[in-house]
Copies of this chain bind each other. A is one copy, B any other.
Amino acid sequence: MDILHRVGIEAPVSKVYAALSTIEGIAGWWTKQTTGVSGPGGIVEVHFVSPSGERIGGMSMKVMALVRDSAVHWHVESGPEEWIGTDVMFELSEDGDYTIVRFAHKHWREAVEFFAHCSMKWATFMLSLKDFVETGRGKPSPADVKIDNWN
């Protein structure tokens, strides 16, 4: 089971790639609490805190591939049980005034309810990525869009 989303961003591919391939970029749309090293073989760590500052979760992802202006691939090493061993991938291409992002979160073992929750959350983060690149203002956690009672 894979989560697949497509989003189009009105910006040069190099700006979108920077938002996906650097710690500062990821912090602009996914979670402000992003640390680690975004280089081949490096580990990117994302942390999520509640509005009151309490830690509510996080993931560590190994950087499997960084292809300039084309692709980013992470392999999830730790985090929620359902995420471990899954792969998060972004493929970029240009189409007129748009950079097209083909997002995939692959290799889920089961289509559990948490899969459906994460599918919605990834969609909101893809809109956050679009806003961040187009306007400089994303909605990274803890300012992320809340979609249900799991957050």
Binding stretch for chain B, among A12-20, A68-76, A123-131: A123-131
Q: Is the CB of A115 within 8 A of B149?
A: no
**Range, interface on chain A:** 20 to 34
Q: Which of A121-148 contact B (CB under 8 A)?
A: 123-124, 126-127, 130, 145, 147-148
Most B CB atoms within 10 A — which of A102, A119, A145, A150? A119
A77 at the interface (CB under 8 A from B): no
Residue interface mask A1-20, B partner, CB < 8 A = 1:
11111111000000000000
A67 at the interface (CB under 8 A from B): no
In the complex this chain forms, how many copies of it are found? 2
**Secondary structure class of chain A's binding surface, majority of residues:** mixed
Q: Is the CB of B130 within 8 A of A5?
A: no
A118 to chain B, nearest CB (A): 9
A119-B123, A120-B123, A123-B120 in contact; A96/B149 too (CB < 8 A)?
A: yes
**13 extra A-B contacts, CB within 8 A, seeds A1-B2, A5-B116, A130-B147:** A4-B115, A4-B116, A6-B117, A7-B148, A8-B147, A8-B149, A97-B149, A100-B148, A104-B116, A119-B123, A123-B124, A124-B127, A126-B147
